[in-house]
Amino acid sequence: MRRMHPVITSLALATMFFLYLPLAGVAVFSVNSARYGFVFQEFTFHWYAKLFTNQVVLEAAWNTLLLAMVSTIAATVIGTILAIGLARFPWGKKLETVLDVILHIPVVTPDIILAAALVVAFGLLQYVSSLFEPGMVNMILGHITFEISFVTLVVRSRLVAIGRDVEEAARDLFASNWYLLRHVILPLLLPGIVAGAMLAFTLSLDDFVISFFTFGPSSQTLPIYIFGAVRRGVTPEIHALSTLVILITVILVVGTERLTRKK
């Protein structure tokens, strides 16, 4: 196997070092008993314990989990149906190209642009119903909007990987459309569906921009809480909360990567 040039290896290691050093620093200060300063005094879990007695943090955590779970379930169902429709329906080449471009637009569009567009859309919908006032409903709809594309792309890549041989074999054995979907396609797609759902959950869990533009007084999430708390000054509680969010994100990302690579 060809070895990489030492310069390239050094640059890669340096990049990784500077990328993860701040995260490691946050984790270290989250278990430091000193409330102020950069001197490590002694190891403690006091700041983590304090988080679980903070009602504002607990409410923000519940809002974050509720938002992530509801939007992930909805986006996974819609994204899976959309992926199957795009991959298995006989679209024309030009129309398929157009649909593919539309599918990728939410992925490449900056969050700030998508968030501003959602604010305009929800502002117009407020004239139809008060349900679209800033709050949890708007946040869920906003998260579903950008999560669908990610789920669809992951599930569709799984469909491409498994091919159509098994489906054609089931058709030769007179399998109905429902039987084919339930006993052939969905079991084979399960790793891709779970991976897409975990990716959507991770994106929702960490999202700040879209949540910030659509949240209401009673729907504050952890990223929004951390943003507001940092503006007042960084405390060990913020380090502890940030470390927990990072840890959950890493676990979900690793799980998504494992499921995506599963044959």
Q: Report the amino acid identity of residue 217.
A: P
The separation between the first and the last C-alpha atoms of the chain, rounded to the nearest angstrom, is: 24
Distance CA 246, CA 195 (A): 19
Q: Find where tokens 């594309």 sit.
A: 149
Q: What percent of the chain has pLDDT over 70?
A: 94
Phi, psi of 247 (to 5 degrees): -60, -45
**Each residue's pLDDT tens digit, 51-104:** 888 888 888 888 988 999 999 999 999 999 999 888 877 777 888 888 888 888
Would you state the pLDDT for residue 2? 60
Least confident among 31-40, 107-116, 195-204, 212-221: 31-40
Bridge partners of residue 32, in order along the sequence:
43
**Each residue's pLDDT tens digit, 97-155:** 888 888 888 888 888 999 999 999 998 888 888 888 888 999 999 999 999 999 999 99
Judge whether residue 261 has pLDDT over 70: no
Q: Domains, the chain, ranges and CATH? A: 53-261 (1.10.3720.10)
Would you state the pLDDT for residue 96? 80
Can you tell me the mean pLDDT for 232-257? 78
Distance CA 120, CA 113 (A): 11
Distances (CA, A) of 154 to 74, 193, 203: 15, 8, 14
Would you state the pLDDT for residue 66? 92
Judge whether residue 219 has pLDDT over 80: yes
Distance CA 155, CA 161 (A): 10
Distance CA 144, CA 33 (A): 40
